A and B are shown apart, each in its own frame.
Chain A
Amino acid sequence: MAKIQLNGRKLEINNKHSITTLLKKYKINGKKIAVELNGKIINRNKYNLIYIKNKDRIEIVYFIGGG
């Protein structure tokens, strides 16, 4: 298991997750979000190549209403 921080929330997940499968797990459409992994923005073409490791900090963001 990998202990990670996802959007500020501490979680334990299977360490065989790529970003793509992590998004699937939370039913998030990969085309409408951006991902930052340990402070670095991940190009969306690489979501299926990058695997989540122990202690990773992941931020998944999207557009919401704002002024």
Chain B
Amino acid sequence: MKKDIFEIGGQILKSRLIVGTGKYKDFKETAKAVKASDASMVTVAVRRVNILDKKKSLLTDYLNPKKIKYLPNTAGCFTADESLRTLRLARELGGWKMVKLEVLGDKKTLYPDMIETLKATKVLVKEGFKVLVYCSDDPLLAKELEYLGACAVMPLASPIGSGQGIQNKINLSIIIKNAKVPIIVDAGIGTPSDAAIAMELGCDGVLVNSAIAKAGNPVLMAESFKNAVISGRQSFQAVRMKKLLYADASSPSRGLI
């Protein structure tokens, strides 16, 4: 069998699981969970430094950006301009060009504003960014993002942080079938079995944050996600059996007494 390589924008990633670093109790727990997940890329947010905080504990002190790839996001941005500003700062901050664009359209659903997302993608690609784009599960818009030069397309499974799992397998399957760039399910994954289903459908990777950070035991859940993503990928490669309408006995009838 051919070696199974996961490549985004020229970058080879060891793991198909990307994890977020938000919502954890503290940086220590974040670092432990990331380690247990075996992810080689983590998403991070760009925020103002609290100038009055004398201690200034930093994420980078717990997760070394030289050892694990940081993928800056634009979480909290509601316009193309806000996202562009954030990612330009992220580029200066981290010194790399791979970023995750998410332009939100609505505070309650955190559903992506696809008009602003398309606008921002165009500018970012022109400025030399390698953009992974959070998007709705609309097959046409997913393809449009690819045309615009997104290096990966990240359709939601269900609303961000909802843990509702994959709500539209058909759309996701169409997106996967049409795509020439990696498809990474982003948002809404609730359990490792959701991640396994995404991988069985043929997704190239999954991005998980809340389902790990908000678990009873985040470190154990991170490990479970690691296994589920590997398992789902193997299942996809192995090609599942055909579904039948009627039963087909597993034991032979020949020699039956």
Contacts and interface: CB of A to CB of B under 8 A. Distances in A.
Interface in B1-49: 20-24, 27, 30, 43-49
Interface residues of B, number: 38
Chain B interface SS verdict (over half)? mixed
Interface in A1-23: 6-9
B51 A6 contact: yes
Contacts, number: 98
A41 B45 contact: no
Contacts of B92: 34, 41, 43-44
B48 A59 contact: yes
Interface residues of A, number: 24
Contact of B21 (A27, A32, A41, A67): A67
Interface stretch (B68-76, B139-147, B234-242, B248-256): B68-76
Interface of B: 20-24, 27, 30, 43-51, 54, 56, 58-60, 65, 70, 72-73, 75, 85, 88-90, 92-94, 160-161, 207, 209-210
Considering the complex of A and B, which 7 residue pairs feature the smallest CB-CB distances, nearest first? A66-B45, A67-B20, A67-B209, A65-B21, A34-B93, A34-B92, A7-B48
